[in-house]
Structure 1
Amino acid sequence: MFFSLEPKTRREDLYDRENELDELERAFENGRIVLLTDTRRIGKTSIYS
């Protein structure tokens, strides 16, 4: 199997998503409400974890 079925726990495991993670962190720091939507198996649960 190429991919683990468990959510990722390390930032490095979310390949090439640094900009998105930084943007999410800034939104949370500013007290914004964030809704993550996308297709299946793209990593939404890993972001939440």
Structure 2
Amino acid sequence: PQLDVEWKEVSKRAKLIMEKTGLPTNTWASGLNRENANQENKLCI
């Protein structure tokens, strides 16, 4: 299924996962944002 989520929600979920697991998901979220051109407002994959 297609994923269509605002970046603030991606960041919020990444922070929650990082707090629960210790994985560096905050850097994953920022990397996704940086690498997905023309998706300034939402992540659409």
With normalisation by structure 2, the TM-score equals 0.34
Instruction: Name the larger-Rg structure.
Output: 1
With normalisation by structure 1, the TM-score equals 0.32
Judging by fraction of residues, say which structure has more helix. Answer: 2
Judging by fraction of residues, say which structure has more strand. Answer: 2
